Structure 1
Amino acid sequence: MAPGLPTAMDRPHFIGIGGAGMSGIAKILAQRGAKVAGSDAKDSATADALRALGATVHIGHAAGHLADDASCVVVSSAIREDNPELVRAAELGIPVVHRSDALAALMDGLRPIAVAGTHGKTTTTSMLAVSLTELGREPSYAIGGDLDAPGSNALHGAGEIFVAEADESDRSFHKYAPEVAIILNVELDHHANYASMEEIHESFGTFVGRIVPGGTLVISADHEGARELTRRLDGSVRTVTYGEAADADVRVLSVVPQGLRSEVTVELDGDRLTFTVSVPGKHYALNAVAALAAGAALGVPAAELAPALAAYTGVKRRLQLKGEEAGVQVIDSYAHHPTEMTADLEAMRAAAGDGRILVLFQPHLFSRTRELGTEMGQALALADASVVLDIYPAREDPVPGVTSELIIDAARAAGADVTAVHDKADAPAVIAGMAKPGDLVLTMGAGDVTDLGPHILDRLSK
């Protein structure tokens, strides 16, 4: 058993092992020497990556998949109580561990950086993981998306730093005790778990209270929700603000677009640093500055970390170029909240030149659409034309009266050109038929709209 492997997790069984968060923890445990097993609804490249590390991955959920000698069963908040493997665990008396507790145990004894915020967590965590690796720091990391290949969302590194994405959606980020915490922004989202901004602020406040003595909070000076959170703090935690605001501790002086890249100049501790971020748009440039400030707070020289950030070239689904056919580029965007949608569309507008921006949008969750459908429609008005699919339910049951029409009506009221497509299989032909040479096509949303990119490229090639 490798050092740092919690005894209770030496034979873990993961229900939903192929998920972004779950697979990362399973991967690190396997790399530390655990006998990992689990199940997922369907086979995937991520499942294959886990098998390559020695994990046993079952397809489908059945009581028989759970070994009698499993030391624990790891679950996420998406796993329902009637899952047959979870029921079997109760019968056998096997402890059930939430994935946040498992991740917290993996960070124990290391120097954690926990990245929180309503948007940008995956990108910022990835930037830190890549740049620290580039500097030879050999960090461990757990990310909510793949860097460059399926299964690359996590790694057990030999260094002392552990970079982790901290999820606020179910309050699981309350389990972590980071040396450095990043809060990128604070907005109302995850409406099934939070009823108001007051609850959101209370939850993020609890997260800040988990920072270890002597640790640092790195928080946006630009985002009003983050500024309000900063005002509420009692001053017991060292706080470093970053952004374009005049009072920011790490001040962004300029972000200069360079096609699908940006040149960023910041002032930190009286020094000016200029570096390149290999993704477009101010939103991503600010993520890089947050990463820079967090690394500096942990003692990594900013003058070394800034150029290393250029090694980050993107993460899957975050403005990821899927290909080009007939002069049309197809780009995948994970954006599913209006703020994210706006940021990605503005970044693409700066990169598109004279070309048009066409969006194939799939709303994610009935609860989010109910609360933010109007704002989603307004964001789509930034595109030249959009195709909107039916809502991707994920873990939710349908809500009467909540459909994509809420978004479509709002978009049209804002002057947008919007087409509704109810059969997902028809969407590639529809949007490919709209595209002309020089256009950018975005597949946008947190659901399975990402799978349509290759089909759009195929249609464009004919």
Structure 2
Amino acid sequence: MTPPGLPNAMERPHFIGIGGAGMSGIAKILAQRGARVAGSDAKDSETARALRAHGATVHIGHEAGHLAPDATCVVVSSAIRADNPELARAAELGVPVVHRSDALAAVMEGLRPIAVAGTHGKTTTTSMLAVSLSALGLDPSYAIGGDLDAPGSNAHHGEGDLFVAEADESDRSFHKYAPQVAIILNAELDHHANYASMEEIYESFETFVGKIVPGGTLVVAHEQEGAAEIAARVRGTEGLDVVTYGEEEGADVRITKITPRGLTSEVTVVIDGRMLTFTVSVPGRHYAHNAVAALAAGVALGIPVHNLASALGKYTGVKRRLQLKGEAAGVQVIDSYAHHPTEMTADLEAIRGAAGDSRILVVFQPHLFSRTQELGKEMGQALALADSAVVLDIYPAREDPIPGITSEIIIAAARSAGADVTAEHDKAEVADVIAGMAKPGDLVLTMGAGDVTDLGPAILARLTD
């Protein structure tokens, strides 16, 4: 098909925080479509270098002079503070400021979008769809919150008419999209700075569902409490087809069996009255459910189910989602992005199921003071699934500290649950701490949404010494 044209505002965009997962994907797609892309980030990175390879200008640091006077817009995410000097310069020059979600909505115009929403699992499910649709030769465009296999592989401008995107509920930005097919994997209370209650979460997801184009499809988890509540609220909406998936009776796409096979799973489903078995090349029940959600969404788009099931087996994971970083001295080091208690529990259970008798050692870095304040006890309880855990200080990301909120909340809850937990305030010491704990056959998980991922190579290097 002829690729969509560029909206005038997107001809010379400037991205503040261009190296971020969501921002870099949009920047890459626009560069591939011929836009003159520029932007800035706090530090250089492989993602920034990958964007330069696509012709983008990437400045390091935030300075007013980085914004070109002929920029057609400035793209920001909710993480950009109001006192950013480039944002102030945009106001002086009269350059329009566009939120990341509006930029993504603009690049989806003219295509058939599939939007993947939920508190957890968005990146994995979006990746599964992107990989499988690509394997079928459909060449979709996609924007993912993580890299598939190399820096900068989180997005692609395809020649096909499909666009697969994560739909972020954290700041209600997913209200900007008009998908043909939407997936809701789950709905739980998170992002406490923006949502005060589950009722607010439900109302936000209902607004998202209301944006599905007439004649479109909602694919929703059958037995996850929050998702099921949303399905109940929207069922019967004129012009909306609701398809549920899950293991319980009553699911439209029913999972009848999940068989662990080491670091993979074999999944059997009944869909449209036919039984089908396919392989998911990542371990764990929650990843199997993600794959079935992707399967149901693809079928809603008219893709033959057997073809799609076979193509789903091509997916081998995304960076930071139970990604094997390496092995040294008989110890495997795996990286996990899990930072919410539900995600932490799911990943630890998946690894426990694949590890056999191996010990599991976790290095956990809490993400956000607000999340720790609301869910710190549950994080500690999740860590009790590990044999031992090292807990770092809270990674603040966009937040300022909250008095009295520290990692000690998590550590106390973990110890109350019977966990063997050590506090470590100096990240530079973690590699030595783990080297002193680990024995051949152990599995080490670096876990969290912050820079804990950087510790994997350091741990491997220390184990090699």
| Alpha-carbon distance, 1:3 to partner | 3.9
Question: What does residue 154 of structure 2 align with?
Answer: 153
Q: Deviations over 1:130-168 (max 9, x none)?
A: 000000000000000000000000000000000000000
What is the CA–CA distance in structure 2 between the aligned matches of 1:433 and 1:132, rounded to whole Å? 45
Q: 1:397-408, aligned counterparts within 5 Å?
A: 397-408=400-411
Q: 1:14-413, aligned counterparts within 5 Å?
A: 14-236=15-237, 237-413=240-416
* TM-score normalized with structure 1 length: 0.99
Amino acid at match of 1:417: D
Extract structure 1 runs of 4+ deviating beyond 6 A. Answer: none
* SS, match of residue 206 in structure 1: helix
Matched-pair identity in % = 80
User: Is this contact kept in 1: 2:4–2:109, CA < 8 A?
Assistant: no
User: Is this contact kept in 2: 1:2–1:33, CA < 8 A?
Assistant: no
What is the CA–CA distance in structure 1 between the aligned matches of 2:409 and 2:5, rounded to whole Å? 50
Question: What does residue 418 of structure 1 align with?
Answer: 421
What is the CA–CA distance in structure 1 between the aligned matches of 2:144 and 2:311, rounded to whole Å? 19
What is the CA–CA distance in structure 2 between the aligned matches of 1:276 and 1:396, rounded to whole Å? 40
User: Is this contact kept in 2: 1:126–1:315, CA < 8 A?
Assistant: yes
Amino acid at match of 1:214: G
What is the CA–CA distance in structure 1 between the aligned matches of 2:164 and 2:376, rounded to whole Å? 33
| Alpha-carbon distance, 1:232 to partner | 1.3
* SS, match of residue 275 in structure 1: strand
Q: Deviations over 1:89-133 (max 9, x none)?
A: 000000000000000011111000000000000000000000000
| Alpha-carbon distance, 1:64 to partner | 0.3
| Alpha-carbon distance, 1:4 to partner | 2.4
What is the CA–CA distance in structure 2 between the aligned matches of 1:234 and 1:446, rounded to whole Å? 34
* SS, match of residue 273 in structure 1: strand
What is the CA–CA distance in structure 2 between the aligned matches of 1:252 and 1:3, rounded to whole Å? 38
* SS, match of residue 305 in structure 1: helix
Q: Deviations over 1:286-309 (max 9, x none)?
A: 000000000000111111000100
What is the CA–CA distance in structure 2 between the aligned matches of 1:374 and 1:8, rounded to whole Å? 46
User: Is this contact kept in 1: 2:389–2:422, CA < 8 A?
Assistant: yes
* SS, match of residue 213 in structure 1: coil
Question: What does residue 8 of structure 1 align with?
Answer: 9
RMSD: 0.9
What is the CA–CA distance in structure 2 between the aligned matches of 1:200 and 1:439, rounded to whole Å? 39
* TM-score normalized with structure 2 length: 0.99
> How many correspondences in the alignment?
462
What is the CA–CA distance in structure 2 between the aligned matches of 1:432 and 1:238, rounded to whole Å? 53
What is the CA–CA distance in structure 2 between the aligned matches of 1:43 and 1:421, rounded to whole Å? 27
Amino acid at match of 1:285: A
What is the CA–CA distance in structure 2 between the aligned matches of 1:138 and 1:168, rounded to whole Å? 27
Deviates more, 1:310-319 or 1:428-437: 428-437
| Alpha-carbon distance, 1:222 to partner | 1.6
User: Is this contact kept in 1: 2:431–2:458, CA < 8 A?
Assistant: yes
* SS, match of residue 311 in structure 1: coil
What is the CA–CA distance in structure 2 between the aligned matches of 1:235 and 1:37, rounded to whole Å? 45
| Alpha-carbon distance, 1:234 to partner | 4.7
Alignment partner of 1:442 is 2:445: yes
What is the CA–CA distance in structure 1 between the aligned matches of 2:232 and 2:175, rounded to whole Å? 20
| Alpha-carbon distance, 1:432 to partner | 2.0
User: Is this contact kept in 1: 2:3–2:159, CA < 8 A?
Assistant: no
Q: Deviations over 1:47-82 (max 9, x none)?
A: 010000000000000000000000000000000111
| Alpha-carbon distance, 1:233 to partner | 1.5
Amino acid at match of 1:4: G
User: Is this contact kept in 2: 1:115–1:182, CA < 8 A?
Assistant: yes
What is the CA–CA distance in structure 2 between the aligned matches of 1:257 and 1:87, rounded to whole Å? 53
What is the CA–CA distance in structure 2 between the aligned matches of 1:288 and 1:105, rounded to whole Å? 28
Distance 1:107 1:2, change over 3 A: closer
What is the CA–CA distance in structure 2 between the aligned matches of 1:390 and 1:76, rounded to whole Å? 25
* SS, match of residue 57 in structure 1: strand
Q: Identify unmatched segments of 5+ residues in structure 2.
A: none
Amino acid at match of 2:215: G
| Alpha-carbon distance, 1:431 to partner | 1.4
* SS, match of residue 138 in structure 2: coil
